[in-house]
Structure 1
Amino acid sequence: MAELASLVQRLEVAVGRLESVSGGGGGGSTAGSGAVSAYVEAYDVILSGSVAQYTSLSQQIGGDVQKHADMMKQAFSCQRQLLGTSSCSQQPSDAGLTGLLAPVSKVIQQVQAFREQNRSSPFFNHLSAVSESVPALGWVAMAPKPGPYVKEMQDAAMFYTNRVLKDYKDKDKVHVDWVKAYLSIWTELQNYIKQYHTTGLAWSKSGPVASASAAPPRAPGGAPPPPPPGPPPPPMDFSQTGKDQPAENHNALFASINKGSDITKGLKHVSDKEKTHKNPSLKTQCGPVRTGPKPFSSPQPTGSTAPARSLPPVLELDGKKWKVENQEGAQGLVISDTELKQVVYAFKCNHSTLQVKGKINSIIIDNCKKLGLVFDDVVGIVEVINCRDVKIQVLGKVPTISINKTDGCHVYLSADSLACEIVSAKSSEMNVLVPGKDGDFTEMPVPEQFKTIWDGKKLVTTATEIAG
């Protein structure tokens, strides 16, 4: 079945190529037609190669992975249509480009939404790898450096593909091959961009000006749908550094975190009347809550600013998950009715403090800014993802703390948690504070710079200090 699926994919690409040649031959000159179709044919090689292999392996795995792959197949098809348009049309205005990018942007949002809707999936790491890297298809709007942008998105996927390899390397080779095939898509795409679109999407110097209504008819579902009403979401930004607030405000916000076990004296307890899982009527008052990363969207015209959307704050127990979302300036949030099987997921909580009492399975902090977290015991892992300027204090024990794509993270360990493993990737300004006999903390930075040498048999990597 896998070989058959791969063959079907190759046939679809071949048919698309023939239709492109037959459809584009009547307009311009033969020489011009051959030149503009070269990068479309090169893109077809990627579709019939690594993309087809990824799709085939996803079908073997089945379930949510296969559903995700079907969405990705549609995304690549939409982008192939855009390349066909650019190969025989002149570059449009920003507004025209927005319409042309709409089909790809829509599928990207669907891919990311699918991951958020299936957090309990046994293949969540697979879904996360795809969801984190699918914005790479937005390279067509990332002039003048589309290639490095794709590389950045590929790196974002590797945090989760490494987890897949760890879980399946000794169990099922199909998943290992799936990781290799998926990552090779982005590697080949970088090489493709370097050759044909080094500083941005290449457009024809002749022919009509491109428009969404004039796009080739091969795209599924006909012409791209009009954008939804209201301002579009802002483009993804991976360059935030966490320097937007004065240092004194940051220090004042987290001053109470150094109180140790006395920190609970200044915290506000959330009563049963304020907990939405014990009062379902509260949910209807604040409306539905949607979570997840911002989808890729095309660049906005110069001078336009999309207003930020304000979502209602959430603090509730949903099944086994404590959801703490959209909290702004909430000092003294407390989760006390905990059980070992429960997890805490904090999403988009800014300028707030949260304490988790008792022993719990795991804690995830995602897309939070200037958040203070204090907890007793975690038997699994504490994960910090896509955050800025957060502080974490362990009062009891925790085996592992993972810090990924985060700028600014202070970890206060307790005497019982000194054996904790701290794993970091793509992060900066990390410090670990260790308690002394007198109760004072000793602060030590986590290395960010490394030196790698070849010792004749293998690569040896050691941490280095920044000179000067």
Structure 2
Amino acid sequence: MAELVNLVQRLEVAVGRLEAMSGPGSSNGGSAGGVVSPYVEAFDEIINGPVTQYYSLSQQIGGDVLKHAEMMKQAFSSQRQLLITASSAQKPSDAVLTGLLQPVSKAIQQVQAFREQNRTSQHFNHLSAVSESVPALGWVAMDPKPCPYVKEMQDAAMFYTNRVLKEYKDKDKKHVDWVRAYVSIWTEMQSYIKQHHTTGLSWSKTGPVATTAAAPPSAPGGIPPPPPPGPPPPPISDTSGENDAALSRNALFESINKGADITRGLRHVKDDQKTHKNPDLRSQTAPVRTGPKPFSSPSSRPAASATPTRTLPPVLELDGKKWKVENQENAPNLVISDTELKQVVYAFKCNKSTLTIKGKINSIILDNCKKMGLVFENVVGIVEIINCKDVKIQVLGKVPTISINKTDGCHVYLSKDSLQCEIVSAKSSEMNILIPQKDGDFTELPVPEQFKTVWDGEKLVTTTTEIAG
């Protein structure tokens, strides 16, 4: 059945090409003179190859993964339409370019919104891997270095693809194949950009100036757009009268940024602002000092920017096997005491609060929390800290693994029984592990943020640098 679906999809693309060549102009999906541009054909190879394979495997998995894949299929169709326009027309004004970029922007938003609306999905890691990396389609608005941007977005998905591999490597091979197919999309995309769009989207040097009316009205092969998961995103504001070449790129990214918080990674950070390249920046924030008990005094970190007024009500409830702790603000005495081994705790967008969990549970996740304290007894699975800022974790009993991802400022107080805990970190800064001493105080040990990799003639050898701590 999977092979049959694959064949049908290839036939649809072939029919789309024939239709594109059946008449002049770009309105029917072709390029000027009825000839499909070489770089559009090269893009079709990505669609026919890894994208089709990823979609076929998503069909086998089904459920939310398939729904997400249908949105991704539409996103690539929208990008193909933009490439057809660029291949047959000259680069337009910034205002027109903004309109041409809008379908890609909306497709990215839709993919990310679906993940945010399905956080309880059993395939949340699959959805997160796609959602973290789909902004890579924004390379069409990046110049002069679109390829490194795609690589950065591909790397952003690694945390979740690795989790899928870990969960299914000994259970279901199709999920492993799904990861490989999806990752290969962005690998081939980088090769494609290097060959055809090295310094940015290549526009035709001849032909008419592109207009929004020239964009093909529908995707090739008759692919229908999937139903929107929620209210449509707000339109990109009109930038007519502006001559700044960066406006079109900014408009695309602004639209993307109105989606999930994870898209904040689209902002470009200059080298002089990166802590891993400038150790002096790390010294500007005072670390947690040895001696004080956890959560006994206010953090010495400089005050963060004001938190916007929350419109969602606070939540602390048990939903099935999941404890939901959401939108808590200035709540220092949150307690979950009636726990069971099969239960998990998910804390989302909590600020200036402290959560205490008693008993033994399966796992804990802190997501998008700020100035958050977490105290727990025993966890048999994993404690995950994702997209957080200035959080403190205290282990009273045992925990096998603590994962810190995309977090700035994380201090973990281990107990004597949890000294064998594995700390896994990625894309995080200002991490400190505090080890208990006999006198009751803690010794603070920083987690390295900077590494050095060399080739020893046979393999790559990676070590921490002396200034990493």
**CA displacement at 1:50 relative to structure 2:** 1.1
Given candidates 228, 249, 261, the residue that maps to 2:234 is 228
TM-score w.r.t. the length of structure 2 is 0.77
Mapping of residues 280-299 of structure 1, within 5 Å: none
Moved more, 410-419 or 10-19: 10-19
**CA displacement at 1:80 relative to structure 2:** 0.7
User: Structure 2: which 5+ residue stretches go unaligned?
Assistant: 238-254, 276-280, 299-306
**Equivalent pairs: percent with the same residue?**
69
Q: Is it true that 1:356 corresponds to 2:357 in the alignment? A: yes
Secondary structure of the residue aligned to 2:198 is: coil
Tell me the residue number matched to 1:57. Answer: 57
Tell me the residue number matched to 1:237. Answer: 264
Moved more, 187-196 or 136-145: 136-145
Q: Which amino acid aligns with 2:234?
A: P
Mapping of residues 247-266 of structure 1, within 5 Å: 258-260=292-294
Q: Which amino acid aligns with 2:5?
A: A
Tell me, in whole angstroms, the C-alpha distance in 2 between the residues paired with 1:14 and 1:442.
65
CA 1:96–1:344: 2 relative to 1, 3 Å: farther
Secondary structure of the residue aligned to 1:128 is: helix
**CA displacement at 1:374 relative to structure 2:** 2.5
**CA displacement at 1:33 relative to structure 2:** 5.7
Tell me, in whole angstroms, the C-alpha distance in 2 between the residues paired with 1:208 and 1:429.
53
Tell me the residue number matched to 1:133. Answer: 133
Mapping of residues 100-111 of structure 1, within 5 Å: 100-111=100-111
**CA displacement at 1:460 relative to structure 2:** 4.6
Tell me the residue number matched to 1:165. Answer: 165
Q: Which amino acid aligns with 1:356?
A: I
CA contact (8 A) 1:413 1:433 kept: yes
**CA displacement at 1:358 relative to structure 2:** 3.7
Tell me the residue number matched to 1:403. Answer: 404
Q: Which amino acid aligns with 1:259?
A: K
**CA displacement at 1:191 relative to structure 2:** 1.0
CA contact (8 A) 2:24 2:32 kept: no
Moved more, 141-150 or 40-49: 141-150
Secondary structure of the residue aligned to 2:374 is: strand
**CA displacement at 1:188 relative to structure 2:** 0.4
TM-score w.r.t. the length of structure 1 is 0.77
**CA displacement at 1:20 relative to structure 2:** 3.0
Tell me, in whole angstroms, the C-alpha distance in 2 between the residues paired with 1:422 and 1:109.
33
Tell me the residue number matched to 1:284. Answer: none
Q: RMSD in angstroms over aligned alpha carbons?
A: 3.8
Give CA deviations for 1:269-300 in whole Å, capped at 9, x if unaligned.
Answer: xxxxxxxxxxxxxxxxxxxxxxxxxxxxxxxx
Q: Is it true that 1:339 corresponds to 2:362 in the alignment? A: no
**CA displacement at 1:350 relative to structure 2:** 3.5
CA 1:322–1:227: 2 relative to 1, 3 Å: closer
Tell me the residue number matched to 1:447. Answer: 448
Tell me, in whole angstroms, the C-alpha distance in 2 between the residues paired with 1:214 and 1:31.
10
CA contact (8 A) 1:151 1:186 kept: yes
**CA displacement at 1:26 relative to structure 2:** 8.6
**CA displacement at 1:193 relative to structure 2:** 1.1
Tell me the residue number matched to 1:312. Answer: 312
User: Structure 1: which 5+ residue stretches go unaligned?
Assistant: 267-306
CA contact (8 A) 2:282 2:430 kept: no
Tell me, in whole angstroms, the C-alpha distance in 2 between the residues paired with 1:32 and 1:230.
28
Tell me, in whole angstroms, the C-alpha distance in 1 between the residues paired with 2:404 and 2:209.
47
Tell me, in whole angstroms, the C-alpha distance in 2 between the residues paired with 1:226 and 1:312.
20
Tell me the residue number matched to 1:420. Answer: 421
CA contact (8 A) 1:334 1:357 kept: no
Moved more, 307-316 or 45-54: 307-316
Q: Which amino acid aligns with 1:228?
A: P
Secondary structure of the residue aligned to 1:40 is: helix
Tell me, in whole angstroms, the C-alpha distance in 1 between the residues paired with 2:58 and 2:235.
35
Tell me, in whole angstroms, the C-alpha distance in 2 between the residues paired with 1:195 and 1:247.
39
Q: Which amino acid aligns with 1:210?
A: A
Tell me the residue number matched to 1:326. Answer: 327
